[in-house]
Structures are given as structure tokens and as C-alpha cells.
Amino acid sequence: MPLQKQSRRALFARLAGAALALGFAGSVLAADNPQVAIKTSMGDIVVELDATAAPKSTANFMQYVKSGFYKGTVFHRVIDGFMIQAGGYTEKLVDKPGVRKPIASESKNGLSNKPYTLAMARTADPNSATSQFFINVNDNLGLDYPGQDGVGYTVFGRVVQGQETVDKIKAVMVDDMRGMQNVPVTPIVIRATTVLTGDKLVK
């Protein structure tokens, strides 16, 4: 009888330990997939990054966020039915100083360019992504690996709040300005980017 009680106690102890471990793992996972609030002149957008599938892109984006780089940059390319792009130019469409070294493509991570996903912008060089990012506003499967160029575009997060803000941005009037196409006639400015913690996190 005492042996049975001892076994039960040991079993309960193991179960409690497992539950604690699972809870700890969950908290680590939450910390590893940060959420960032992007405050724009047209409303707020909250994105959740996927540090497991896209660790380099997540770390890169977080460095720009924490340094305050995105403050004062604009959504400089808006194509309804495709995507909205930001993160490289000031309101006067001048390159924002302080761009870091390019990062390697992570387009093979299995994430898809579906509506309201966050992806890295780049040049024709697959490993040229720096500060610019875009939010898909359509099911852009043609951008997934391997894409038309054999590489595709890296998805590293998704919009978890503020989809209505994305919808407002994609519908603005655009024109050609300073040699750039599809530029919003009225600048859409990023006022601030903030890393969310605690009760600020979107569940």
C-alpha cells in the first residue's frame, strides 16, 4: 500500500514537472515570436514575427525596430491587389540613413505570401534584404519559393491586429513621384514602432 502511494506521489510529481516545463516552453515560445506595434498616420498595425521559421529576418527587423530606425519612414509603394511596402524612405522619398548589412534569404522556410503576411523586400539579388518590408494584401503564391527567379520572397510574420488599417492603406490614391511608381499621394508615415510585452500582447 505505501508503495502504491509513493508511486502515485512520484507520478503526480512528474506530471506537475511536465506541466511546469510545458508552461515554461510556452513562455519561451511567446518571447521568441515577438509582436511589434507599427503606429502609422492611418492607424496602428500589430505584427507577430516567426522567429522559428525566419530567425535571421526576425532578428534583423527587431534591430531596426529597437533602434527607432522606422520612425519617419513611409509606405512608399502601394499596389491594391498586391502589397504595401515600407521601411526605406523618408517622407521626402529620400533614403533613410542607417541601413544595416543585407541578410540571407529565408524563403525556403515554408511560410506563404498569403494576405496580411509580412515579408522582406529585396532587389534582384536574393540575399539583399535590409530594412524594407511589405505586407501582402492578396494571396501572392507566386512570391513563394521558388517563385519566378528560383528563390521567392521571405515571409517572416503576420498581421495579428490592424488588418483594417492595412485595408485603408492599400486603397489610397497613388501616383509616380521622383522616379518611383505607386507612391501614395498623401504620405503614409510610420510614427513609431514598439515591441509589445505583457498584457499589451495580442492574444
Residue with cell 503606429: 39
Give the confidence band of 192 by pLDDT, cuts at 50, 70, 90: very high
Does the pLDDT of residue 11 top 60, yes or no?
Answer: no
User: For residue 142, what is the DSSP state?
Assistant: G
- Opening angle at CA 118, ends 202 and 30, nearest 5: 35
How many of the other CB atoms lie within 10 Å of CB of 27?
10
The bridge status of strand 43-49 relative to strand 155-161 is antiparallel
Look at 22-31, 145-154, 186-195 and tell me which has the smallest mean pLDDT: 22-31
pLDDT at 14 (0 to 100): 53
In angstroms, the CA 164 to CA 171 distance is 11
pLDDT (tens digit, 9 = 90+) per residue, 126-182?
999 999 999 999 999 999 999 889 999 999 999 999 999 999 999 999 999 999 999
In angstroms, the CA 96 to CA 73 distance is 7
In angstroms, the CA 21 to CA 3 distance is 27
pTM, entire model: 0.84
| 8 Å CB contact between 162 and 176 | no
pLDDT (tens digit, 9 = 90+) per residue, 72-122?
999 999 999 999 999 999 999 999 999 999 999 999 999 999 999 999 999
